[in-house]
């Protein structure tokens, strides 16, 4: 079952939930934008699902510092490092994105790293935000010291899903926005399948013998691991694995944040928290390359030509990263944001915990909190 809720209603609900969880009005407004972007564009595991499951509980119990005051601790014309003060990654990375855009306007290319932060939601939000200023952008994050997947061919979970997004403006249509994890799938989708009582597609998980597993419980029981983008070593898994290492190198040692593969993990292999997470945002100004106007026109031609390619199947179509999400956004703005029933149920439960009014769209009888299993 799914529900639809007006976009502005969902944004207002998220904003109030965040203030009641301890954030200031300004930080709650920023975070609500990032959260609702995810649901609006179809990334439902990273939107209000994360608000109810990660952000609100951790803000309330102090695992995320609701009163954080991020500060710049290193600064040059084209680079900076922000200490997030243990705060919400949605806020610190928005700050980093805007700073990277500002610096790129001056120097052509700029990079801002963040340390001492937390989960930052949908990577695509930050890259997309830069395109609205006419810039190209790359955004990425590690998972701190948390191990989600073992190195290719290994047995100990050392690395995170380590997502990254790349976006480029293309006036006159949907921008290019590639939002991906270095693993075949984000673990939130595995959790969603478990919650909904369904199997996951073949190729998402493999057991310790390399055999495909479709039971999501196997991942959380430690009997199977999420695969790297590309699958096995034979089918290109080294590419996803290599991307994950790159993200950890930039968001960990370079940013001064935690990272997964450390020697102590080899000795005890214990699960570690996703704290002191690192992020990186890179912004590129086409004007610095003499392409202030021509880049956008060229990008539009390139993307439209790709989309016009004849499909291989009569019932198929050709598109590009960013276009389906733009269509979903238009639908969300017109008809309301589509949320899975289990996510809506989580929001009802969170609202009751916060003594917060629940939008009517989220409270049909089948979604009452009593129906949500612990």
Q: How confident is the model at residue 370 (pLDDT cuts 50, 70, 90)?
A: very low
* pLDDT single digits (tens) 268-293: 767 788 899 999 999 999 999 999 99
Question: CA 272 to CA 14: how far, in whole Å?
Answer: 29
Confidence of residue 366 (pLDDT cuts 50, 70, 90): very low
Per-domain residue ranges for the chain? 1-67+336-374, 68-184+235-312, 185-226
131-164 pLDDT, tens digit per residue, is 999 999 999 999 999 999 999 999 999 999 999 9
CATH 3.40.1010.20 fits 185-226, yes or no: no
DSSP state of 313: S
What is the rounded distance in angstroms from the CA atom of residue 63 to the CA atom of residue 272?
14
- Residue 244: is its pLDDT beyond 90? yes
Q: What is the pLDDT of residue 371?
A: 41
The pLDDT value recorded for residue 351 is 95
Kindly indicate the confidence band of residue 267, based on its pLDDT and cuts at 50, 70 and 90: confident
68-184+235-312 and 185-226: same fold? Answer: no
Could you give the CA distance from residue 22 to residue 17 in angstroms, rounded to a whole number? 9
CATH architecture of the domain with range 1-67+336-374: Orthogonal Bundle (1.10)
Q: What is the mean pLDDT of the chain?
A: 94
102-112 mean pLDDT = 98
Q: How many CA atoms lie within 13 A of 229 on its CB side?
A: 18
pLDDT at 315: 95
Q: With residue 223 as reference, give the H or E element that holds it.
A: none
Q: 114, 126, 121, 138: which is closest to 284 by C-alpha?
A: 138
The per-residue pLDDT for range 191-223, each reduced to its tens digit, is 889 988 899 999 999 998 889 999 999 999 999
Q: Look at residue 373 and tell me whether its pLDDT is greater than 80.
A: no
For 17, what's the count of Cα atoms within 13 Å in the CB-facing half-sphere? Answer: 33
State the architecture of 68-184+235-312 in CATH terms.
2-Layer Sandwich (3.30)
pLDDT at residue 364, as a whole number: 61
Residue 365 has a pLDDT of 42
Which one, of 13, 40, 46, lies nearest residue 28 by Cα? 13
Q: In this predicted structure, what is the pLDDT of residue 176?
A: 98
If you average pLDDT over residues 179-202, what whole number do you get? Answer: 91
Is the model's pLDDT at 294 over the cut of 80? yes
pLDDT score recorded for residue 273: 83
Structure token digits, residue 143 = 């998972």
Q: Residue 192: its pLDDT value, please?
A: 86
Q: What is residue 270's predicted lDDT score, i.e. its pLDDT? A: 72
For the residues 78-90, what does the mean pLDDT come to?
A: 98
Q: For residue 183, how many C-alpha atoms fall within 13 Å in the half-sphere facing its CB?
A: 26
Helices (H) and strands (E) in the chain, counts: 13, 12
**Is the pTM of the predicted complex or chain greater than 0.95?**
no
Taking only the tens place, the pLDDT of each residue in 29-61 is 999 999 999 999 999 999 999 999 999 999 999
Average pLDDT over residues 107-129: 98
Across the range 242-256, mean pLDDT stands at 98
Give the pLDDT of residue 303.
98
Q: Read off the tokens for 123.
A: 């990577």
Measured CA to CA, the distance from residue 374 to residue 368 in angstroms comes to 13
How many residues are given for the chain? 374
């Amino acid at each position: 079952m799914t529900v639809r809720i007006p976009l502005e209603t969902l944004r207002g609900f998220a904003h109030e939930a965040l203030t009641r969880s301890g954030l200031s009005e300004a930080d709650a407004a920023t975070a609500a934008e990032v959260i609702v972007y995810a649901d609006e564009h179809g990334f439902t595991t990273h939107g209000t699902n994360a608000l109810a499951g990660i952000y609100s509980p951790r803000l309330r119990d102090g695992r995320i510092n609701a009163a954080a005051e991020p500060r710049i601790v290193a600064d040059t014309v084209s680079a900076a490092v922000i200490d997030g003060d243990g705060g919400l990654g949605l806020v610190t990375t928005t700050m980093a994105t805007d700073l990277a855009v500002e610096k790129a306007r001056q120097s052509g290319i700029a990079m801002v790293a963040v340390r001492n932060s937390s989960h930052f939601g949908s990577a695509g939000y930050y890259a997309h935000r830069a395109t609205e200023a006419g810039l190209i952008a790359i955004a990425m994050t590690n998972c701190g010291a948390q191990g989600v997947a073992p190195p290719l061919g290994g047995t100990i979970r050392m690395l995170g899903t380590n997502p990254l997004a790349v976006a480029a403006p293309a006036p006159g249509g949907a921008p290019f926005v590639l939002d991906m994890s270095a693993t075949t799938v984000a673990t939130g989708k595995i959790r969603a399948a478990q919650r909904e009582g369904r199997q996951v597609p073949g190729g998402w998980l493999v057991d310790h013998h390399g055999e495909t597993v479709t039971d999501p419980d196997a991942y959380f029981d430690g009997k199977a691991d999420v695969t790297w983008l590309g699958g096995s070593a034979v089918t290109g898994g080294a590419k996803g694995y290599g991307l994950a290492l790159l993200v950890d190198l930039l968001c960990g040692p370079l940013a001064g944040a935690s990272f997964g593969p450390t020697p102590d993990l080899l000795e005890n292999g214990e699960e570690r928290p996703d704290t002191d997470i690192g992020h990186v945002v890179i912004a590129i100004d086409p004007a610095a390359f003499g392409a202030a106007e021509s880049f956008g026109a060229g990008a539009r031609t390139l993307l439209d030509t790709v989309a016009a390619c004849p499909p291989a199947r009569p019932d198929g179509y050709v598109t590009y990263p960013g276009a389906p999400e733009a269509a979903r956004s238009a639908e969300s703005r017109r008809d309301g944001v589509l949320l899975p029933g289990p996510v809506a149920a989580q929001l009802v439960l969170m609202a009751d915990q916060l003594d917060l009014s629940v939008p009517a769209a989220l409270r049909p009888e089948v979604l009452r909190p009593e129906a949500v299993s612990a």
